[in-house]
A and B are shown apart, each in its own frame.
Chain A
Amino acid sequence: MKIVVCIKQVPVGAVKIDPETHNLVRSNVEGDINPYDRNAIEAAIQLKEQAGGEVILLSMGPDSYISSLRDGLAMGADSAVLLSSRAFGGADTLATAYTLAAGIKKIGNVDLILFGRQSVDADTGQVGPIVAEDLAIPQITFAENIELHDHNVLVVKRLLDSAVQEVKVTLPAVVSVRAELNQPRYENPLNIQTSFEKSVTIWSEKDLDLDNSQIGQAGSPTVVRKVYAPDKATKQMEQLPTHASKAVTQLLSELNN
């Protein structure tokens, strides 16, 4: 089974706002794999252990994203592809997904595309479904259990808002996974060492079959008008006594008033 796992590098620590462009400034900020994407990598490796095949990591971003791809390779993925170019900059979810879909087509003969449920920075969870639409294949989002039934059939348990759904899909398909699906494995020293021998391929827009009006800022319908720190509605707090039982007694009597 040929599995592509789409991952995103997310900032760790403080993020600043560029006063000119109103974009978030992510440079000079340490990055790490989006935590939910580790669940997707784990799911891919487990499926490979059952069915054979290969696990390819795919990301779009600057060359500094290679460090996150190396982390994913150290978990046990086989190779990685980074879509990197100034032309991809300023992409929203629509343009990002379009570009990733072009990368997946170029990789070719992909059976399964896995995503984490959402990123912890932008929190959209939109890219997976858009990629599925762009590739015209089925999607199953928010998977909490994945069973391999045949070499190309998955039965996926999906937790909806007030129901559990069981969905059967014949590959190729896009699946996004919940953190509840699995416990991502740690990178062991041997895998970290071998990760540096695995290939990381970099493709720009010249390597992909793309409509340039659909990528980067030009291909992004949404515009960030303003980024700001919200006024925090601070409250006038009453400090309770340091003695716990006195604190609780005072609290309960005031709440009952």
Chain B
Amino acid sequence: MNNALWVYVQLNGQKVEPTSLQLITKARQIAEGRPVVALLAEDLTTNAEETVKEYGPDEIIVLKDDHFTQPTDGELADALFQVVSANTPNGLLFPATVQGRSVAPRLQAKLRTGLTADCLDVYYDGEDLIQVKPTYGDDIMCEILCPDHRPQMATVRPNTFNAEKVTGANVKITTATFTFHSEANIEVVSEKPIISSSANIADAKIVVALGRGADNDKTIALAEKAAAKLGGMVGVSRPLTDNPKFSHESQIGQSGNTIAPDLLINLGVSGAVQYTVGIENAGKVVSVNTDDKAPIFAVSDFGYVGTANEFLEALVNDIK
């Protein structure tokens, strides 16, 4: 058993998932003297430690094997388990991405320890890693801990923290000893990058967001026009993910994306906590709602009481 705080470094192709770098910075801030260790599994042609070391972990443990180009969840969990169980770190953080949320529980089951999903904050209180996550319902947050098992595992929501480079850090790079075991009965046939992945709502500087009160074709078309004119993107609250035009990728809030635009315009969004938890890092917030008591106005810098369409028509007219 050791007292280190480990961060899993996810690769998307050969690129490091930004959330992993955010978590290295966060880990350095909360570690209270514990070593911060980045855990990386890559194929022989990838050299992600060059990127990772700029963010100043104390150590990078690298698992090298050509199967890591396209591993299954089970294969990745098995390889990580060999290295994690040989060290039993104090804490182990994963990005709450698709890969993190798939591999971390499988690894947890092998380790028989606790795992908290989709945390918005993590910090130490003595030896306990306090894991803060929102839960459904009446504005509820939970603090979860794992007192008797190690490592204390959590997945942490993307874009909740900033990644900061560290100059002149002394980073030790260690090659892990493990054996890659191919998983029977399952094969990753292909993996194709999504071309539009650069246009991610989480990274957009301007977001025009649609809620239940804006779920009609005319408003959606106007919102798209306004977003295009502003150089922004259209996002939605959860009810609109039922509209075939939108998917989970454009969803804002709990179980969707945390966004941090400079300008956010909410249209017909009532402001349930499942939504507002995803916009806490937004800069200027403008909200349009026909209900002057809508909770969204409490987290807004500017409020307009009226219909989304009249506001959008004026906006589209006015933007040069």
If A168-B186, A170-B186, A180-B248 touch, whether A129 touches B192 (CB-CB below 8 Å) is no
With an 8 Å Cβ cutoff, the count of chain B residues facing the other chain is: 90
* A238 contacts B303, C-beta separation under 8 Å: yes
* Chain A residue at smallest Cβ distance from B72: A138
Query: Least Cβ distance of B6 to chain A in Å?
Result: 17
If A123-B254, A163-B194 touch, whether A221 touches B105 (CB-CB below 8 Å) is no
Query: Least Cβ distance of A104 to chain B in Å?
Result: 14
Query: Least Cβ distance of A159 to chain B in Å?
Result: 7
Q: Chain A residues in contact with chain B, CB under 8 A?
A: 10-11, 14-17, 24, 92-94, 97, 118, 120-130, 132-134, 137-142, 155, 159-171, 173, 178-180, 220-230, 232-240, 242, 244-245, 247-249, 251-252, 254-255
Q: Which of B133, B149, B188, B310 contacts A167 (CB 8 A)?
A: B188
* A139 contacts B139, C-beta separation under 8 Å: no
* Chain A residue at smallest Cβ distance from B125: A225
- B interface SS class: mixed
Most buried by A among B74, B109, B115, B148: B109
Query: Least Cβ distance of B263 to chain A in Å?
Result: 7
* B136 contacts A15, C-beta separation under 8 Å: yes
Over the window 257-298 of chain B, the binary record of Cβ atoms lying under 8 Å from chain A Cβ atoms (1 yes, 0 no) is 000000100000000010010001000111000000000011
> Which residues does chain A contribute within 8 Å of B54, judged by CB atoms?
none
> Which residues does chain A contribute within 8 Å of B17, judged by CB atoms?
161
B116 close to A (CB within 8 Å): yes
- A interface SS class: mixed
Query: Least Cβ distance of A114 to chain B in Å?
Result: 15
If A138-B74, A169-B186 touch, whether A24 touches B118 (CB-CB below 8 Å) is no
Bound complex: CA of A234 vs CA of B285, how far in Å? 12
* A130 contacts B13, C-beta separation under 8 Å: no
> 8 Å CB contacts to A: which residues of B230-278?
241-242, 247-248, 254-255, 263, 273, 276
If A162-B12, A235-B285, A238-B301 touch, whether A225 touches B144 (CB-CB below 8 Å) is yes
If A179-B248, A232-B298 touch, whether A120 touches B190 (CB-CB below 8 Å) is no
* Chain B residue at smallest Cβ distance from A226: B143
Given contacts A93-B105, A239-B305, 7 further A-B contacts (CB under 8 A): A134-B109, A162-B193, A165-B70, A227-B135, A229-B139, A229-B140, A230-B273
Bound complex: CA of A61 vs CA of B230, how far in Å? 49
* Chain B residue at smallest Cβ distance from A214: B112
If A129-B105, A227-B141, A245-B317 touch, whether A238 touches B302 (CB-CB below 8 Å) is yes
B183 close to A (CB within 8 Å): yes
15 examples of A-B residue contacts, CB within 8 angstroms: A11-B136, A15-B138, A93-B105, A118-B117, A120-B136, A123-B133, A129-B102, A164-B194, A173-B185, A224-B143, A227-B142, A228-B140, A245-B318, A248-B317, A252-B319
> Which residues does chain A contribute within 8 Å of B83, judged by CB atoms?
none
> Which residues does chain B contribute within 8 Å of A239, judged by CB atoms?
303, 305
Bound complex: CA of A117 vs CA of B277, how far in Å? 20
> 8 Å CB contacts to A: which residues of B144-180?
144-149
> Which residues does chain B contribute within 8 Å of A166, judged by CB atoms?
188-191
Q: Which of A128, A138, A220, A252 contacts B186 (CB 8 A)?
A: A138
* Chain A residue at smallest Cβ distance from B242: A179
* B101 contacts A126, C-beta separation under 8 Å: yes
* B189 contacts A228, C-beta separation under 8 Å: no
* A230 contacts B138, C-beta separation under 8 Å: no
Query: Least Cβ distance of A24 to chain B in Å?
Result: 7
* A160 contacts B141, C-beta separation under 8 Å: no
> Which residues does chain B contribute within 8 Å of A173, judged by CB atoms?
185-186
> Which residues does chain A contribute within 8 Å of B142, judged by CB atoms?
224, 226-227
Q: Which of A126, A155, A245 contacts B117 (CB 8 A)?
A: A126
* B189 contacts A232, C-beta separation under 8 Å: no
* B189 contacts A252, C-beta separation under 8 Å: no
Query: Least Cβ distance of A252 to chain B in Å?
Result: 6
B187 close to A (CB within 8 Å): yes
Bound complex: CA of A236 vs CA of B247, how far in Å? 33
* Chain B residue at smallest Cβ distance from A121: B136
* B144 contacts A167, C-beta separation under 8 Å: no
If A167-B189, A240-B303 touch, whether A139 touches B137 (CB-CB below 8 Å) is no
Bound complex: CA of A16 vs CA of B304, how far in Å? 33
Q: Which of A167, A251, A255 contacts B187 (CB 8 A)?
A: A167
* B136 contacts A164, C-beta separation under 8 Å: no
* A167 contacts B72, C-beta separation under 8 Å: yes
> Which residues does chain A contribute within 8 Å of B130, judged by CB atoms?
225
* B140 contacts A248, C-beta separation under 8 Å: no
B197 close to A (CB within 8 Å): yes
* B117 contacts A122, C-beta separation under 8 Å: yes
